[in-house]
């Protein structure tokens, strides 16, 4: 079995994150110092991170949020916007969910 066979199988399974990590391991000689479990964990962790990022991207697209770079820290609490800063800050903590 060679690297091409492994890469083809990874492609067949659709494990894009794992493939990227596998290619990194092939190129970086530092990975040879790791034992099997460490290298394998690195591969499956890369796939997990890839799937999480894909899920986040899909949710952001589905959210139809206009400004995807918006941050809570950038909210302007001026009088014309009629936003109660203290009330909004309590919503940010999400305590209302924990408190039911």
Question: 80: which 2 tokens?
Answer: 């014309």
pTM, two decimals, is: 0.68
C-alpha distances (whole Å) from 18 to each of 29, 31, 34, 46, 70 are 18, 15, 17, 6, 31
Sorted by sequence, the CB contacts under 8 Å of residue 7 that are 6+ apart come out as: 19, 22, 23
84 neighbors 90 (Cβ within 8 angstroms): no
pLDDT in tens, the chain (100 residues): 899 999 999 999 999 999 999 999 999 999 999 999 999 999 999 999 999 999 999 998 898 888 878 888 888 888 888 888 888 888 888 888 888 7
């Amino acid at each position: 079995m060679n690297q091409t066979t492994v890469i083809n199988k990874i492609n067949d399974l659709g494990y894009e994150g794992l493939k990227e990590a596998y290619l990194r391991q092939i190129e970086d000689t530092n990975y040879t110092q790791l034992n099997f479990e460490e290298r394998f964990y690195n591969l499956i962790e890369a796939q997990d991170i890839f799937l999480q990022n894909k899920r986040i991207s899909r949710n952001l697209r589905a959210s139809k949020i206009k400004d995807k770079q918006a941050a809570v820290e950038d909210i302007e609490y001026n009088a014309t916007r009629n936003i109660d800063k203290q009330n909004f800050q309590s919503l940010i903590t999400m305590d209302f969910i924990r408190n039911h």
